[in-house]
Structure formats: C-alpha cells, structure tokens
C-alpha cells in the first residue's frame, strides 16, 4: 500500500515520529504522478522544485518542533489550476491564459504553504471551471480512476481524480454549482463546499463571483476538516470573506448524530435520480437513524426553478468577469490584427473553448437592454426564494441529506453534445451555491461498481454540522480506504 493511501492524521503521526520524512513523501508522490497520471490526466504540471524546497523546510520544522508543527506539515497536496500560484503557470484550463505566471499566491495557496503542506502540482479542470465532466479543459482529458471510460466529474475533476488515485493526500478545488461535490461523488472521495465567504477567494480566477467558493477534496472527512481549518477565516484581501470565527471544527467529528434532526428534501428525490443512487441514500439514512438521528421529509419548492436561475446568473457573471480576457490585459495578443476590434475578436475566439463562448454569449444576452428585467432580475428573485426555502427548512432541521448527483459517473462523451443534459447534472448541488450554504459530499456506497456520494447541506456557516453528519456517514459506510483498481491502495 502506498503511503499516500493513509489518512493525513496517520501520515502526520509517522512524520512526527520520523518513520518517514516529508522529502520521502514528496518523492513518492512525484514518482506516482509520473507513473500513473499519464493514464488519468489529473495534473497539468508538476512542481518538483517547489515541492522539494517545501519538503525540506517541512522536515526542518518537524525536526525542530514535532508537536508544534501544523497537521498538514509535510503532506503532499495539489491545487486546481484556477488558484494563482506564484512562479507557477496558472491557466484555468484555458488557452487564453497559456503562459500566465502569477506574481503572487492565492490566499488559500499561501495558507496551505504556511501550514507546511508540500505542493506537488497544478490540476486539470474544465476551462474557467465551466463544466460538470472535466471534458472542457483546453489541454487534456481527465478520466475517472474507477473506470477510465467515465468522467471524473467537473469542474474540479483533476482535484478529485488525484486524491482517488492516491497521487496527492489532499487537493483544493472550487465549487460554483457543485464543482467540488460532484467530482467527489463520482470519484469516491470527500469534497467540501464551505459557506460563501468562509474561505477567501483572493487569487481565485473567477467564474461567477457571487457563487464561487474554494474547498478541499480528501480521502476522509477528518482530512477535509484539517485542510478546511487551515484555509478558512477572514482575509483583508477579500471583502466578501466573513469575519465570523471558524471555531473548533475538529470537535464536530466525534459527536455522532444522536439527537440530530435531518431533513430529506422531497424535490431532491424526483425523477432523474437513479435507482442505485436512491438505494445508497436510503441505506445511509437507515444507518443514521440507527445511530439516533431523526430523519424527516422536507420540501424545498423553489428547487424546480433553481437550475434555470443558476444558468442565467452564472453566465451573466461570466460575461462580466471574462471581459478582461481580451489579449491586452490578459491572454495572448494578436499582433497581425489590423484593428482593435479584430484583435479582441481573434484573441477571444482563439483563446476560449466552445463552452466558455456559449456562456459568455448567454450571459451577455441576459444582461442586454430589454432582457435584463425579463431574465437576470427574475433569476435573482428566484435566488431569493431558494435561499428563503433553505432558511425556513433549517428552522425545522439541523442539516439536510440527499444524493450528491442524480447518477454515478457517466461515460466520456455521453453528454458533450447535449448541454442541457450536462447542466442537469448539477441540479442537486447548485441550490446550495445560490443560497451560499455549507455542503459536503461523502462516499456512501456504490452503484453498478461506481462510487456514489451522499450530500450533507447545512445552514450558512454550518460547516461543523456538515462535518458531524458526514463523519457519521463515513464511519457507518467504512469506504474511505477503498481505492480504485490499479492505484495500489
């Protein structure tokens, strides 16, 4: 079994007892990436020089103060390629940013480094994080480590696949409509979408600024808690980051679910949820009930409008955010152009893939004169209704449990030609983004041999209760140690 198959807490124990060094872990991770990733495609680039420098610094820290070193000290990690990393090419999976090397670190990248984590590379994603399958990357395909004919989920597909294949112990992704939770479910790992503002977005290449959130993907719920505790908190560089204290998230992991009232949203079990996925959820709910939780059916009636509202609001913000990618401020220029308009058109057409162009066009349309009130304003009103539904339900229950996705991972290419079918993949995850709530996907079983995740949603800044319920699901399912075939644990 590879050392990278161990939990972060167990690796931390071995690092502190000097059974293994941070350098050895980094070398093992880089070796596994070189051997196994060509078949998976999770990494866009590795960062050997940075990793070895950070590993040596971690070893010095661990030698000088083994008990005082943070839990992530010496742990191999990797970051989704939408997070600015000083001195490392960061492209957001797009040709228009090819060659862009940020002069600074995103806050979450800096906080991971400050915690002693060792960065081994940057991870593939759908272009500008726009996609549910990781098939929109301009550079390469990423496959699901459990079945190479299937998608890993998106947009943080590289982040989930790297953890599942034991190429890194933890990764960072971003979640705009389910882009952490969906690939976590498809790849059989844990993925956390924090409440909006719980984690700084400074240095995150924006998709939709009112929806984006950075979070961890890991093998275990405890590992996710360790990463979340390291990256969460106020940030003077991000005015949307909340100043509310993070609190002791670790305490939630061992509290169990005795006495909790958990809601199962009726609308989340509607048509489209596969029989195998429903069976996994039912089994998880039965286990939670046996552990003392009360399961009740609840209703979120605005759910049926959430998908349409999301695909008005998100593209509108895309149209605004990506206006700067014009070949002048960002992106490669077009020196042969004979006019400024031609230069803009050429740079953007050459630099953006079809899905990004589709969303820019849609967003520009709904913001245009004569259509703003009919589409964008109405979508924002629906967003308010979705948030109000959640607020009402959280007066009745402590958390919600549901499938993370309607199905297990689908085949590569299956939905590429049908954008509406692709967008529907996010139907159970995106409402939490519209409302800014905390959420987590935890492996709970298998359907047709593929991993299936259960989603736990909590109120705003309710990360603790999400972790508490997810830890119980994990303990009752006992699946975290199961690795895809060919990954050696």
DSSP E strands in 352-474: the ranges are: 399-403, 438-447, 450-458
| pLDDT at 29 (0 to 100) | 98
Residue 288 lies in a domain: no
Give the number of other CB atoms < 10 A from CB of residue 256: 16
Residues facing 88 on adjacent strands? 85
Shared domain for 15 and 136, answered yes or no, is yes
| pLDDT at 40 (0 to 100) | 98
Structural domains counted in the chain: 2
Residue 460 lies in a domain: yes
**Given a cut of 80, is residue 333 above it in pLDDT?**
no
Shared domain for 403 and 372, answered yes or no, is no
Residues facing 289 on adjacent strands? none
Shared domain for 434 and 467, answered yes or no, is yes
Shared domain for 46 and 190, answered yes or no, is yes
Shared domain for 316 and 240, answered yes or no, is no
| pLDDT at 270 (0 to 100) | 85
**Given a cut of 80, is residue 271 above it in pLDDT?**
no
Shared domain for 357 and 425, answered yes or no, is no
What are 274-291's pLDDT values in tens digits?
999 999 999 999 999 999
Domain termination residue (choose one: 384, 413, 444):
384
Residues classed as catalytic: 80, 155, 179
Residue 347 lies in a domain: yes
Shared domain for 144 and 95, answered yes or no, is yes
Residue 72 lies in a domain: yes
| pLDDT at 350 (0 to 100) | 86
Residue 58 lies in a domain: yes
- Domain span including residue 337: 303-384
| pLDDT at 338 (0 to 100) | 80
What would the mean pLDDT of 463-472 be, rounded to a whole number? 98
The more confident residue out of 128 and 328 is 128
Residues facing 155 on adjacent strands? none
In 57-96, which positions are buried (b, 16+ CB within 10 angstroms) versus exposed (e)?
A: bbbebbeeeeeebbbbbbbbbbbbbbbbbbebbbbbbbbb
d(CA 263, CA 257): 13
What are 40-65's pLDDT values in tens digits?
999 999 999 999 999 999 999 999 99
Shared domain for 251 and 339, answered yes or no, is no
Shared domain for 165 and 28, answered yes or no, is yes
| Three-state DSSP string of 10-50 | HHHHHHHCCCCCHHHHHHHHHHHHHHHHHHHCCEEEECHHH
Q: Per the confidence metrics, is the pTM higher than 0.95?
A: yes
Give the number of other CB atoms < 10 A from CB of residue 297: 9
Shared domain for 323 and 216, answered yes or no, is no
d(CA 83, CA 212): 12
d(CA 215, CA 226): 11
Residue 323 lies in a domain: yes
The region, left, alpha or beta by phi > 0 then psi within -120 to 50, assigned to residue 93 is: left
What are 8-42's pLDDT values in tens digits?
999 999 999 999 999 999 999 999 999 999 999 99
| pLDDT at 38 (0 to 100) | 98
Residue 345's pLDDT band (cuts 50, 70, 90)? confident
Hunting for tokens 């275990």 — which residue is that? 220
What are 188-225's pLDDT values in tens digits?
999 999 999 999 999 999 999 999 999 999 999 999 99
Tokens (6 digits) for 279? 């069976």
Residue 377's pLDDT band (cuts 50, 70, 90)? very high
**Given a cut of 90, is residue 337 above it in pLDDT?**
no
CATH number at residue 141: 3.90.1300.10
Shared domain for 34 and 76, answered yes or no, is yes
The region, left, alpha or beta by phi > 0 then psi within -120 to 50, assigned to residue 121 is: left
Considering only CA atoms, which of 141, 238, 162, 150 is closest in space to residue 194?
A: 238
What are 420-444's pLDDT values in tens digits?
899 999 999 999 999 999 999 999 9
């Amino acid at each position: 079994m590879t050392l990278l198959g161990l939990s972060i807490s167990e690796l931390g124990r071995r690092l502190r007892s000097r059974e293994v060094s941070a350098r050895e872990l980094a070398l093992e991770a880089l070796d596994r990436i070189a051997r196994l990733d060509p078949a998976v495609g999770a990494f866009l680039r590795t960062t050997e020089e940075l990793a070895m420098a950070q590993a040596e610094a971690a070893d010095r820290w661990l030698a000088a103060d083994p008990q005082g070193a943070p839990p992530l000290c010496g742990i191999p990690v990797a970051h989704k390629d939408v997070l600015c990393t000083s001195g490392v090419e960061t492209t957001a999976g797009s040709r228009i940013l090819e060659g862009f090397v940020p002069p600074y670190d995103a806050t979450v990248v800096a906080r991971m480094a400050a915690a002693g984590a060792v960065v081994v590379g940057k991870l593939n994603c759908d272009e500008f994080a726009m996609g549910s399958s990781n098939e929109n990357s301009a550079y390469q395909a990423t496959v699901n480590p459990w079945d190479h004919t299937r998608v890993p989920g998106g947009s943080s597909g590289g982040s989930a696949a790297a953890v599942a294949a034991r190429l890194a112990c933890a990764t960072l992704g971003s979640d705009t409509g389910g882009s952490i939770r969906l690939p976590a479910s498809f790849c059989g790992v844990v993925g956390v979408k924090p409440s909006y503002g719980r984690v700084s977005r400074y240095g995150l290449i924006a998709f939709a600024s009112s929806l984006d959130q950075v979070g961890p993907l890991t093998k275990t719920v405890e590992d996710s808690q360790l990463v979340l505790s390291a990256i969460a908190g106020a940030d003077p560089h991000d005015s949307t980051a909340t100043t509310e204290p993070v609190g002791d998230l670790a305490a939630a992991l061992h509290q169990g679910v005795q006495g909790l009232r958990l809601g199962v949203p009726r609308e989340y079990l509607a048509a489209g949820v596969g029989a195998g996925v429903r069976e996994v959820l039912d089994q998880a709910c039965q286990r939670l009930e046996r552990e003392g939780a009360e399961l009740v059916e609840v209703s979120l009636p605005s759910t049926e409008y959430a998908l349409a509202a999301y695909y008005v609001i998100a593209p509108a913000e895309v149209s605004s955010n990506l206006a700067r990618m014009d070949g002048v401020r960002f992106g490669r220029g077009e020196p042969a152009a004979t006019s400024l308009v031609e230069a803009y058109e050429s740079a953007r057409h050459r630099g953006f893939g079809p899905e990004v162009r589709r969303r820019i066009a849609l967003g520009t349309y709904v913001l245009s004169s004569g259509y703003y009130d009919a589409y964008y304003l109405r979508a924002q009103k629906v967003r308010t209704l979705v948030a109000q539904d959640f607020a009402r339900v959280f007066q009745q229950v402590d958390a919600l449990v549901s499938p993370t996705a309607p199905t297990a991972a689908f085949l590569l290419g299956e939905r590429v030609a049908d954008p509406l079918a692709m967008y529907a993949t996010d139907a159970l995850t995106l409402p939490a983004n519209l409302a800014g709530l905390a959420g987590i996907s935890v492996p709970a079983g298998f359907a047709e041999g593929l991993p299936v995740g259960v989603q736990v949603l909590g109120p705003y800044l309710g990360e603790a209760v999400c972790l508490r319920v997810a830890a119980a699901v994990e303990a009752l399912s006992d699946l975290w140690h199961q690795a895809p075939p060919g990954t050696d644990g």
